[in-house]
Amino acid sequence: MLRPDEYVSYRIASPIASHRQLVSCQVFECEAWTYGWSSRFPTADTLRIEYVRNGSGRRFREVLEEGFVRFDFPPGQRCFNWQSHYVQVRPEAYSVVSGDARSQHREVLRRHTRPVDWVEDLGLHQDQIKTLLERG
């Protein structure tokens, strides 16, 4: 068994804070923005129904169905899932790091700008391990 500092770790990082940006439904090309959508609630779900009617700030057509209220939202307005509309503004960071998660001191050994180079590096490393294991 190897000690933690004898390992090499391959890491891909794309933190939301630095690599992604929240954008509008229009910029994200959200389907709800483009085509509109419907939301359907049981008539007993008064909390959601009242939110749509009085707190959502969205345009809609209300349709009463047996036991349900359906809201049809036309295109061109922010959807209810807008907080998840992120676009990538920086590429992922591909790196090779000394040690594993248990290591006290870890340093970046190599950084790759292209995923294909990172994958090749990993493959070469795996070949080295395989060769060492075959030798015994």
Tell whether 36 and 69 lie within a shared domain. yes
Model confidence pLDDT, tens digit, residues 60-94: 999 999 999 999 999 999 999 999 999 988 888 99
Tell whether 72 and 94 lie within a shared domain. no
98 pLDDT above the threshold of 80: yes
For 122, the domain range is: 4-15+90-135
- The conformational region for residue 106 under phi > 0 = left, psi -120 to 50 = alpha, else beta, is beta
Residue closest to 59 by CA, chosen among 51, 71, 45 = 71
When pLDDT is cut at 50, 70 and 90, the band that residue 5 belongs to is confident
* Calpha distance 70→78 (Å, rounded): 18
| C-alpha pair distances (Å), 74 with each of 4, 22, 35, 116 | 56, 23, 7, 43
pLDDT score for 102? 82
* Calpha distance 91→21 (Å, rounded): 12
When pLDDT is cut at 50, 70 and 90, the band that residue 106 belongs to is confident
When pLDDT is cut at 50, 70 and 90, the band that residue 18 belongs to is confident
Tell whether 94 and 57 lie within a shared domain. no
- Structurally, the chain folds into a number of domains equal to 2
Q: Bridge-partner residues for 68, per DSSP?
A: 42, 65
pLDDT score for 83? 93
